[in-house]
């Protein structure tokens, strides 16, 4: 009996000694297939949660070859196939886009042959990180709008951006017909785009935000994947001469009208430089307290609840608007405002006044240039004032180079 046991042990030892891989050789000897998870390796691991965007999705076989790999991304209640490619020997599969989407579940289904030609199937799932903090960009101008030739594309972010180059690369602004368009950062929360010169009338501009899952700051990821577009209308450039108290309005280079105006009084002079119409209001309230104008008693120097035909030119409160409270002989002769440009109007907003005429012929994005005022040039980040910066300075404001 002892001799028989020793003989059987010797036989097993001989089998192990003649086969590479030890236990694996025994499996083959007894024709026992290897487990699917031994043949097909999927990374990240099955059942993983909170997988970071820096991790890579990979499928590989340890011996044999991959027959098919199907990956589905489930995000925002939508299932999307994930395209990918095999290595030349079909032992490795990887996605075309190496960046994992956040707040998503991935399902991986694999069919492979092991090294002995046996069919093996495996299915795994993993979930990616759900960020606690997200950022979005508010785009100016509005989608599908028609704008003037001075419009600057401006993105205002709801959170400070520290990884500016990454965010900049995720934003694409293109024009048809094509023209060079470059970005410029104003601080950590604003990114503007413009061409070298004003847009040509008829240009269609597309803003493609590919910010979804882009890390804008440590632990802060983008939320948007969206396309905006707008069309550039006719060219209208108006030049306010603060010393002459006039505004020349030119449409496509042709003089339409010369209107009498009143600009900023000596103690509140109007900014010089190129400004762009940012907003248009049939009627708006203007209160001096909102822009720091107080009298000796600490009260607002003015509060007009119904300013008609108002076009905003700067964030700091410069408007070109109708004025019904100044005497008619003010316009064209004296500068009496707190920095705005005033056109003659009537209370409630007339229909045949200079202010109404100009308002009816204006677009957001139109250019208003002020000259011969006693104030400094408007800052490039005050409103859409980027045209006051030369092209080389503008290009230097890119984070991506």
Catalytic residue among 184, 309, 338, 340: 340
Q: Would you identify the CATH topology of the domain 236-388?
A: L,D-transpeptidase catalytic domain-like (2.40.440)
* For residue 6, pLDDT beyond 60: no
| Mean pLDDT, the chain, whole residue set | 91
CA separation for the pair 266, 317 (Å, rounded): 17
Q: In whole angstroms, what separates CA 257 from the centre of its chain? A: 39
Contact by Cβ (8 Å): 60, 49: no
* For residue 3, pLDDT beyond 80: no
Residues comprising the chain, all counted: 401
Per-residue pLDDT, 357 = 98
| 147-201 tens-digit pLDDT | 999 999 999 999 999 999 999 999 999 999 999 999 999 999 999 999 999 999 9
CA separation for the pair 82, 117 (Å, rounded): 27
Per-residue pLDDT, 22 = 45
* For residue 260, pLDDT beyond 70: yes
Q: Is 18 a catalytic residue?
A: no
Catalytic residue among 245, 268, 321, 338: 321
Q: Say yes or no: domain 35-127 is CATH 3.40.50.300.
A: no
Contact by Cβ (8 Å): 98, 84: no
- Token pair belonging to 244: 């002459």
Q: Average pLDDT for residues 108-117, to the nearest whole number? A: 96
Q: Provide DSSP, 91-152.
A: SEEEESS-SPPSS-EEEEEEEEE-TTS-EEEEEEEEEB---SEEE-EEEES-TTEEE-TT--
Q: Average pLDDT for residues 339-355, to the nearest whole number? A: 95
Fold match, 133-233 / 236-388: no
Q: Say yes or no: domain 133-233 is CATH 2.102.10.10.
A: no
- Give the whole-number percent of the chain exceeding pLDDT 70: 89
| H-run or E-run covering 15 | helix 2-17
Q: Cα angle at 141 between 155 and 317, to 5 degrees?
A: 80
List the chain domain ranges: 35-127, 133-233, 236-388
């Amino acid at each position: 009996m002892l001799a028989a046991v020793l003989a059987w042990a010797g036989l097993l030892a001989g089998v192990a000694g003649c086969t590479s891989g030890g236990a694996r050789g025994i499996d083959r000897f007894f024709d026992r297939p290897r487990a699917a998870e031994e043949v097909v390796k999927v990374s990240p691991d099955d059942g993983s949660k909170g997988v970071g965007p820096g991790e890579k999705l990979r499928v590989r076989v340890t011996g044999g070859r991959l027959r098919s790999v199907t990956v589905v991304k489930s995000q925002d209640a939508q299932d999307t196939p994930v395209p990918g490619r095999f290595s030349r020997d079909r032992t490795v599969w990887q996605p075309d886009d190496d960046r994992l989407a956040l707040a998503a579940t991935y399902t991986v289904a694999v069919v492979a042959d092991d090294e002995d030609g046996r069919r093996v199937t495996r299915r795994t799932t993993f979930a990616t990180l759900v960020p606690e903090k997200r950022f979005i960009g508010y785009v100016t101008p509005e989608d599908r709008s028609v704008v003037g030739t001075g419009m600057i594309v401006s993105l205002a972010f709801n959170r400070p951006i520290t990884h500016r180059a990454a965010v900049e690369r995720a934003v694409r602004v293109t024009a048809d017909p094509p023209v060079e368009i470059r970005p410029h950062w104003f601080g950590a929360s604003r990114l503007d785009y413009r061409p070298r010169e004003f847009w040509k009338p008829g240009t269609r501009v597309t803003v493609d935000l590919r910010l979804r899952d882009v890390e804008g700051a440590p632990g802060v990821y983008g939320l948007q994947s969206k396309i905006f577009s707008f069309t550039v209308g006719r060219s209208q450039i108006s030049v306010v001469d603060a010393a002459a108290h006039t505004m020349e309005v030119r449409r496509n280079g042709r003089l339409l009208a010369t209107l009498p105006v009143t600009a900023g009084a000596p103690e509140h002079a109007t900014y010089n430089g190129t400004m762009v119409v940012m907003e248009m209001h049939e009627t708006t309230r203007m209160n001096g307290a909102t822009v720091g104008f107080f009298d000796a008693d600490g009260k607002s120097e003015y509060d007009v609840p119904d300013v008609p035909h108002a076009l905003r030119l700067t964030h700091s409160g410069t408007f070109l608007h109708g004025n019904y409270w100044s005497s008619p002989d003010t316009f064209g002769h004296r500068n009496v405002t707190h920095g705005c440009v005033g056109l003659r109007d009537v209370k409630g907003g007339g229909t045949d006044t200079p202010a109404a005429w100009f308002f009816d012929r204006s677009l957001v994005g139109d250019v208003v240039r002020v000259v011969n005022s006693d104030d400094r040039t408007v800052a490039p980040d005050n409103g859409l004032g980027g045209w006051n910066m030369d092209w080389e300075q503008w290009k230097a404001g890119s984070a991506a180079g």
